[in-house]
Structure 1
Amino acid sequence: MKNLISIMAASVIFSQAAFAIGGASGTKSYAAQGKIGAVIMNPYKVAPLSAVILNGGYDIKNVSVSVKGKPNGGIDINYNPSNNSILTYGGIPIFGLYADYVNKVVVSYERSIANSKSEKISEEYEIYAPPIYTEGTGTNQLGVLPKAVVSVKADEKFKNNLYLINHLIRAPLANSAQAVWNNPVGGAMEWDLQSYNWMVDTNGDVRWYLKNDEIRNPDDIYKKGNMMGFTQDKDGALFWGMGQRYMKYDLLGREIFNKRLPSAYIDFSHHIEHTSKDTYLLRVASANQKRKDNSNVRSVRDVIIEVDNNGKVIDEWKLYDILDPYRDTNLLVLDQGAVCLNVDKDKAGQTVNKEDLEDKNSPFGDVTGVGVGRNWAHVNSVSYDDKDDSIIISVRHQSAIVKIGRDKKIKWILGAHKGWSKEFQKYLLQPVDSKGKKIVCEDEYTKCPGYENDEGGFDFTWTQHTAYYVPSMSKKNEIVISVFDNGDTRGMHQPAFATSKYSRAVFYKINEKTMKVEQIWEYGKERGFDYYSPVTSITEYFDKTKSVFVYSATAGLGKYMLNIGKTEPILDEIDYKTKKVLFEMKFENMGGQIGYRAYPIDVKKAFE
């Protein structure tokens, strides 16, 4: 009995202690640094340089946040989270902390309890954010992330910009490329790479990064793949795709959606676009396509689908039924040392021969070849034109930009005329100068009077990336597009000296009624081989700043392949009118990475 009484007494004491540390007594279970709630770091597990100051049970509104830059020139990140944003996060969202550093964060807000009179408060927090952690490349990597070096200080209108950088790890990792499709055969599953995704300010300091391993699972075929196509949506959140999925998260890492591709499609990569109709265009491939020889294959980077917000497929564009998957003209002159993600120094400058390209026994998959089931197209962007409900696609392996209507009919083809069969020739655009005078090009319109000149003239694009519709420059019957012209296969050949290659950002004005095209702007040719990006990259016009954003994402890769230099991507903001570089940053110490794209980020928009 005495033992039983002792046990009961101990139980009461333990119970009281439990209440005292945050049970039914209602005592706080955390220590608040300021006048509301606790600071929760990385609240959604995927954005470690973010936090939330919890509301502590108060009603919070009219908030302003300033994450202070480091002393001696650090950049403040200032934004005013909306009242809806405060409700969404259960407190004040903190974005843009420096890693491995005690950050000073100033917040102002009004707080109240149960509709009582509100109290205005301004206070400073000290918030430590831990060091950056990402998986290593397994190579001679010199840092966690490449080092950003500012070579042209930011003009005032870009000073407070942030840039999302999207790189892929070129080195073979144990958790990459561990599975391929085999029934049917083909597809692009062997290109499953880990990615590095982070944001830098205009000092080159890291202010955000994505902890991929919370999203990507290398042991699950439907949760692995290359994270690509990052874009900031109109609501400030980020959307992108990855292998068999596409997803959207806000800047604090809160998942908005993470969806598997519809079952008929596989292998998202390169590009996703949110249209003005509130649908999404995705560059994918067919999961099962019957060939004319009665075999079944998975296709490679040659299908566009449109899905609604529920993931329902609204439409599809099977490009092997619209274009000519057997046009080999450009494929025969591709530099096999850099076929987009496939970078191989041992094959630098080499090309394939016609017999190998068209061999019926050639393997299916992400290989240079013709016909459905091989990488004959390699579409790397899709842009929606809402004026006529059409899509504009960049078809890298055809060195062509093509506009296609909802009816699956071609509207025009911007590219060298050589190699197109008779049925496609009526869609080929005719180059003209600024006065509308016809420009005559040699060798079936592959060599125009500007493809080798230092200034001026006209040229088509070659193995290009990101053909984007520019609404603010376009008008009835006329459309303007911006493109990153990588420059491999320029003139439909490999030059005698690889160092004569160059890349450029270029704009074209297309009269869709007369089928004429004028080159109206270019930048990069004058920078020569140093600016040459054999693969990847982006060019986009931003009307707010009247500037052209360019990321030559594999600048220096050509030198690396020739053993005369190293890859150092170059990010530029260029004034459209004057072509003056208003900001430039380079990335060093790439390790085993290959640059894919970058994108300007508007923090204020993210918390509206």
Structure 2
Amino acid sequence: MKKSLIFIVGLIIAAGVVFWIMDRDNPAQEATAKPDDFEYPPTVATDLLEEQEQLEETILQESEGSTFAEPYVKLDPYNRSPLSALAIFSTEEPKQVSVTVEGETDDADISNTFEGYKKYHEIPILGLYPDAENTVHLTVTTESGETSEKTLNLETEPLPDYIPTIKVKEVQKEKMDLADTSLTFAIPSTKYPYAFDANGDIRWYGSGYNSHVLKELKNGNLLYLGKDDNSGNAYNRLFETNFIGKLFNAFKISEEAAQAESEGMESTLIHHDIAELPSGNLLLTVNDGKGNYMEDTMIEIDRKTGEVVKVIDLKALVPEEMYTDYDSTPKKDGLTDWFHQNSLVYDESDDSIIISGRNSDTVMKIDYETNEIKWILADSEGWTGKYEDLVVEGVGEDFKYPAGQHDATIMPDFDNNPDTIDLLIYDNNTVVTRGNEELSKDYSAGVQYRINEKEKTAEIIWSYGEERGEELFTNIVGSAKYMEDTGNRLLGFGHVDKGERSHIIEVTNDQEADVVFEAVMSDFPKGAWVYRGVRYELYSGEWEEKFSVK
């Protein structure tokens, strides 16, 4: 009996050891920390929303009784979008409204027709020129087709300091991917976000400083990482807003775990990117605030309340020595920046996320439910043991892994193969930890990779930038966006000449790509370079149709 008891106890202990080893070797089980483990959740900035309610009440009072002949017009109605205005008026019968801001050239007009016939009209006017007397035409049309026009003259203030000089180096408008109200948006690492037309004229900017995140949501609104005051030392507010500046939600962001990218830059807790999930919740790249590492954690928050519902710690996904032994870059305020996550995109096809880590020279796909790594696009150095089978193998003589890369985004399915996925990545081509040292820093490029997720192979389908050599090399920042209507690619070479210039370049999808647009930004302070260049429509058919002061 005694021997049997000892044998049973031994079996239990042995089984426990086996399960402990299995659990230890399955980092996916540890990657999701409890939401309560994140000590710096966003909280709703109710004071800002209440202030806006009072502002809107004033606007409604001031506009009462306005007619089409004498409309109420207010420049920058929400004090966040200086090159915008709001017109309010009533008509005796239902009418449809169109608005046109006259451009300095015939093809630079910005026009929009608002759907439906109404008697009460709140019309957002966008695309004004700075430091100018703008001519704006309002046209109303009855259901029977009769029209009337009202012309407004709206005078705007000069641009503030820190907005760069813009020079258009190349433009072929007929080949550009331009909708009727499209502008090219420059999203900075710090200072003002701004947008310009194909002539290089600024037609929109936000008066609040912005860092890294100015993202269009599915409802047409914008996520805007900003501050409560431009003079503050930290980016401590996250707004859901629109191009006229109305807030739909606002979060206070803790400054306690905020870190600066470099000396002289403001600090931030939310540092590089945000993804909108199918639920509407937001997935944020953050610092964990635990005092050892930075920029290696993600939190999912409730879209309305800011409650943290999921935490992903990347340290739990990778070999331990990848972060404990990391010494490729100096510590920042005593913190190790071993991964430096700089992009995040959700893949609806398989409920996964694709992330980029600059300092790890790695792009990887992670199953969002299980937190298991599905594949790794990186040089194999350091990815040992069970990770070896996850590293995709490069195919082709010209293949190279990205290095110090940014902005890994999903492209359409070009080959009709369910096993492959195409990514457009901005390859800085600066080896930080692993990669091809011989080619490092010779050039930077936008690169289209095709990854066979079943066979774990990858090939390069297209690239642009290598032919420009060191002229456009960027050690940090950069972006690459696919333009769906034309197949063009919009590339942001944000840190040219060690941060003295930023180039936003639109090229065709030909193997020998044709440059159809190139704008060069200069004369900006440190950090006001272009972190990402994107193309948005001022009037998208989404937000403006739902816009209301009431």
Q: Please give the range of the TM-score, normalised by the shorter of the 2 chains.
A: 0.7 to 0.9
Partner of 2:360: 398
Partner of 1:602: 537
Partner of 2:75: 41
Partner of 1:587: 521
Equivalent of 1:255, from 236, 247, 250? Answer: 247
Q: Displacement of 1:200 after TM fit?
A: 0.6
Partner of 1:545: 486
- After TM superposition, the score normalised by the length of structure 1 is 0.68
Partner of 1:478: 420
Q: What are the superposed Cα offsets for residues 560-601 of structure 1, whole Å, 9 maximum, x if unpaired?
A: 7xxxxxx22111111113521121111122244333112101
Partner of 1:418: 381
Q: What are the superposed Cα offsets for residues 444-498 of structure 1, whole Å, 9 maximum, x if unpaired?
A: xxxxx5xxxxxxx111000100111224447422111110001111794896999
Partner of 1:535: 476
- Cα distance between partner residues in 2 of 1:86 and 1:422: 69
Partner of 2:282: 280
Instruction: Please say if 1:80 is aligned against 2:113.
Output: yes
Structure 2: stretches of 5+ with no match in the other structure: 1-60, 227-234, 259-268, 546-550
Is the Cα contact below 8 Å between 1:390 and 1:403 reproduced in 2?
A: yes
Q: Secondary structure at the match of 1:270?
A: strand
Q: What are the superposed Cα offsets for residues 72-122 of structure 1, whole Å, 9 maximum, x if unpaired?
A: 5561111123459997xx52211010111111111112479xxxx997422
Partner of 1:576: 509
Structure 1: stretches of 5+ with no match in the other structure: 1-26, 137-143, 169-193, 217-225, 289-296, 335-351, 366-373, 434-448, 450-456, 561-566
Is the Cα contact below 8 Å between 1:302 and 1:379 reproduced in 2?
A: yes
Quickly say closer, same or farther: Cα 1:524–1:118, change in 2 above 3 A. Answer: closer
Partner of 1:15: none
- Cα distance between partner residues in 1 of 2:84 and 2:63: 22
What one-letter code is carried by the residue in structure 2 that aligns with 1:470?
M
Q: What are the superposed Cα offsets for residues 531-556 of structure 1, whole Å, 9 maximum, x if unpaired?
A: 11111110011222211111111122
Quickly say closer, same or farther: Cα 1:265–1:384, change in 2 above 3 A. Answer: farther
Quickly say closer, same or farther: Cα 1:497–1:397, change in 2 above 3 A. Answer: closer
Is the Cα contact below 8 Å between 2:92 and 2:119 reproduced in 1?
A: no
Q: Secondary structure at the match of 1:327?
A: helix
Quickly say closer, same or farther: Cα 1:494–1:424, change in 2 above 3 A. Answer: closer
Q: What are the superposed Cα offsets for residues 256-281 of structure 1, whole Å, 9 maximum, x if unpaired?
A: 11123599986101111223342222
Instruction: Please say if 1:301 is aligned against 2:243.
Output: no
Partner of 1:164: 185
Is the Cα contact below 8 Å between 1:325 and 1:377 reproduced in 2?
A: no
What one-letter code is carried by the residue in structure 1 that aligns with 2:488?
S
- Cα distance between partner residues in 1 of 2:439 and 2:447: 23
Equivalent of 1:407, from 344, 350, 370? Answer: 370
Partner of 2:17: none
Equivalent of 1:154, from 160, 165, 172? Answer: 172
Equivalent of 1:103, from 134, 140, 145? Answer: 134
Partner of 1:202: 198
- Cα distance between partner residues in 2 of 1:324 and 1:278: 32
Instruction: Please say if 1:91 is aligned against 2:32.
Output: no
Q: Displacement of 1:125 after TM fit?
A: 1.5
Q: Secondary structure at the match of 2:272?
A: coil
What is the identity percentage for the equivalent residue pairs of Structure 1 and Structure 2? 25
Is the Cα contact below 8 Å between 2:102 and 2:109 reproduced in 1?
A: yes
Quickly say closer, same or farther: Cα 1:111–1:246, change in 2 above 3 A. Answer: same
Is the Cα contact below 8 Å between 2:101 and 2:127 reproduced in 1?
A: yes
Is the Cα contact below 8 Å between 1:231 and 1:599 reproduced in 2?
A: no
- Cα distance between partner residues in 1 of 2:62 and 2:184: 40
Equivalent of 1:384, from 346, 351, 357? Answer: 346
Partner of 1:176: none
Partner of 1:54: 88
What one-letter code is carried by the residue in structure 1 that aligns with 2:394?
P
- Cα distance between partner residues in 2 of 1:59 and 1:416: 67
Equivalences for residues 259-408 of structure 1 within 5 A: 259-260=251-252, 267-288=269-290, 297=291, 299-310=293-304, 311-324=306-319, 326-327=321-322, 332=327, 364-365=334-335, 374-405=336-367, 406-408=369-371
Is the Cα contact below 8 Å between 2:68 and 2:90 reproduced in 1?
A: no
Quickly say closer, same or farther: Cα 1:265–1:389, change in 2 above 3 A. Answer: farther
What one-letter code is carried by the residue in structure 2 that aligns with 1:240?
Y
Aligned length: 457
Q: Displacement of 1:238 after TM fit?
A: 1.6
RMSD: 3.3
- After TM superposition, the score normalised by the length of structure 2 is 0.75
Quickly say closer, same or farther: Cα 1:395–1:204, change in 2 above 3 A. Answer: same
Partner of 1:124: 151
Instruction: Please say if 1:432 is aligned against 2:424.
Output: no
Quickly say closer, same or farther: Cα 1:104–1:540, change in 2 above 3 A. Answer: same
What one-letter code is carried by the residue in structure 2 that aligns with 1:458?
F
Asked which structure has the greater CA Rg, the reply is 1
Instruction: Please say if 1:460 is aligned against 2:401.
Output: yes
- Cα distance between partner residues in 1 of 2:141 and 2:152: 16
Q: Secondary structure at the match of 2:386?
A: helix
Quickly say closer, same or farther: Cα 1:386–1:101, change in 2 above 3 A. Answer: same
Instruction: Please say if 1:524 is aligned against 2:465.
Output: yes
Equivalences for residues 493-512 of structure 1 within 5 A: 501-512=442-453
Is the Cα contact below 8 Å between 1:41 and 1:48 reproduced in 2?
A: yes
Is the Cα contact below 8 Å between 1:86 and 1:93 reproduced in 2?
A: no
What one-letter code is carried by the residue in structure 2 that aligns with 1:131?
P
Partner of 1:228: 212
Partner of 1:65: 99
Q: Secondary structure at the match of 2:337?
A: coil
Q: Secondary structure at the match of 1:69?
A: coil
Is the Cα contact below 8 Å between 2:427 and 2:444 reproduced in 1?
A: yes
Quickly say closer, same or farther: Cα 1:377–1:466, change in 2 above 3 A. Answer: same
- Cα distance between partner residues in 1 of 2:63 and 2:298: 52
Partner of 2:238: 246
Is the Cα contact below 8 Å between 2:315 and 2:323 reproduced in 1?
A: no
Q: Secondary structure at the match of 1:165?
A: strand
What one-letter code is carried by the residue in structure 2 that aligns with 1:535?
I
- Cα distance between partner residues in 1 of 2:435 and 2:449: 23
